[in-house]
Amino acid sequence: MTRLSGPLSLVAVAGCLVLAGVSVGGCGGAAEDEASAPFTIAFSETYLTIRNQSNSALTGGLIELVPSGVLAPFRTKLPRIETGASRDVPYEQFGGTGGARFRRGSMRIRTVRVTATDVVGTTHKREVPFK
């Protein structure tokens, strides 16, 4: 086994520290985002659930299932959700380009993007990986 010379060993150690910092920093942000987010998104086999955690009702918006690749997202309208309430949205409600309906398991979905507007007129946007 060979030992790295002085400058090379410093570069190797610095690289490892940077990678460790990035991985720890990336893990810590997700829990903070979930706690302070105006709404949460949970997944089931037949529907996704959106729970309003903000201080005002969500009056409308758009839910998009974004597939991997270049395909257009499947969309449906976000129904009104009162403060502290949750709403189940069946996957069969999502429509794609040309009226095609989404079927879970027929294609790979990368993320779920939700854009919601509250009573005051503030727009909230959230994108989470599809599970």
Considering the entire predicted model, what is its pTM? 0.70
Rounded to an integer, what distance in angstroms lies between the CA atom of residue 43 and that of residue 46? Answer: 8
The domain ranges of the chain are 1-36, 38-129
What local confidence, expressed as pLDDT, does residue 107 receive? 83
Strands 109-118 and 123-129: antiparallel
- Confidence category of residue 4, pLDDT binned at 50, 70, 90: low
pLDDT(95) > 80:
yes
Residue 2 has pLDDT above 90, yes or no: no
Reported as a single tens digit per residue, the pLDDT across 17-48 is 444 443 343 443 344 466 677 889 998 888 99
Domain 38-129 listed as CATH 2.60.40: yes
Higher pLDDT residue, 9 or 52?
A: 52
Q: Taking a C-beta distance cutoff of 8 angstroms, is the pair 91, 102 a contact?
A: yes
